[in-house]
Amino acid sequence: MNIVQSQPTSGRVFGMLPPEAQKKIQSWIRSRHLICSGNFYVFESVDSSAIERFTESIEVLGGTLISVETIGKIWMGDHRQVLLYRAKASLHTPCHDLKQYWIKYGSFRTRFDEQV
């Protein structure tokens, strides 16, 4: 069975389809990695590959990544510090119910706010 890959205007080819991208974003909302403010989404993670998956999900749904930056180090256990990344994206969601999903299950603060 062949899976049709979407190809956004940036020329990148993605293997993710929009329903899968929406489910990933919903799981990040529930886990408090992702917050929403208007048409802007802020994603925080210590995993750089999660930032790449977030970028892909946003672009598959028609959005745009604005920036990715490191915002500090947080402690993982007693002896290890890791970098915390923050990705900001714009996603106009009139045809998606992500905004309503965030209102129902989301938070105004990410899980890392207390640690930075």
Q: Do 41 and 35 contact (CB within 8 A), yes or no?
A: yes
Which range of residues forms the domain containing residue 84? Answer: 18-104
Tokens 């208007």 locate to: 38
- Mean pLDDT score across all residues of the chain: 85
User: Is 80 part of any domain?
Assistant: yes
Task: Please state, in angstroms and rounded to a whole number, the distance separating the CA atoms of residues 92 and 98.
Answer: 10
User: Is 113 part of any domain?
Assistant: no
pLDDT in tens, 22-50: 999 999 999 999 999 888 999 999 999 99
In angstroms, the Cα distances linking 49 to 90, 92, 104, 112 are: 19, 24, 27, 17
In angstroms, the Cα distances linking 30 to 34, 48, 66, 73, 93 are: 8, 19, 22, 23, 18
Output the pLDDT for position 39: 85
Q: Count up the domains in the chain and report the number.
A: 1
Q: What percent of the chain has pLDDT over 90?
A: 65
User: Is 35 part of any domain?
Assistant: yes
User: Is 114 part of any domain?
Assistant: no
User: Is 4 part of any domain?
Assistant: no
User: Is 7 part of any domain?
Assistant: no
Answer with the residue of higher pLDDT: 14 or 42.
42
Task: Please state, in angstroms and rounded to a whole number, the distance separating the CA atoms of residues 37 and 45.
Answer: 18
Answer with the residue of higher pLDDT: 105 or 114.
105
User: Is 11 part of any domain?
Assistant: no
To the question of pTM greater than 0.75 for the whole model, the response is: yes
> Residue 29 burial by CB count (10 A; 0-12/13-18/19+): exposed, middle or buried?
buried
Task: Please state, in angstroms and rounded to a whole number, the distance separating the CA atoms of residues 12 and 82.
Answer: 29
pLDDT in tens, 88-106: 999 886 666 888 899 999 9
The CATH number linked to 47 is: 3.10.28.10
